[in-house]
Amino acid sequence: MAQTKTGPSAPQDAAEAAHIEEEVAYLAKRHRISPAIVREIIRRIGSHERSAVEREIRKGMARR
């Protein structure tokens, strides 16, 4: 059975998730790539810092 988060950390996690999704949408639009690609990069590098994600996007674009 799946557990759901409750208590004081749940709203903070929801706010953080919304912030990450805003970053994903911004980066996808700025670099003209799919939001799914941005999410995959975030998952692969393990960080959602904008500079780190943009560095990985540039590496990928250089390979094309």
4-31 per-position pLDDT tens digit: 555 556 677 888 899 999 999 999 999 9
Residues 6+ apart with CB under 8 A from 31: 38, 54, 57, 61
pLDDT per residue as tens digits for the range 24-33: 999 999 999 9
Residue 2 has pLDDT above 60, yes or no: no
Whole-number percent of the chain with pLDDT over 70: 81
Residue 53 CB coordination number (10 Å):
20
Which tokens is 11 given?
């709203």
Could you tell me the residue ranges of all domains in the chain? Answer: 14-63
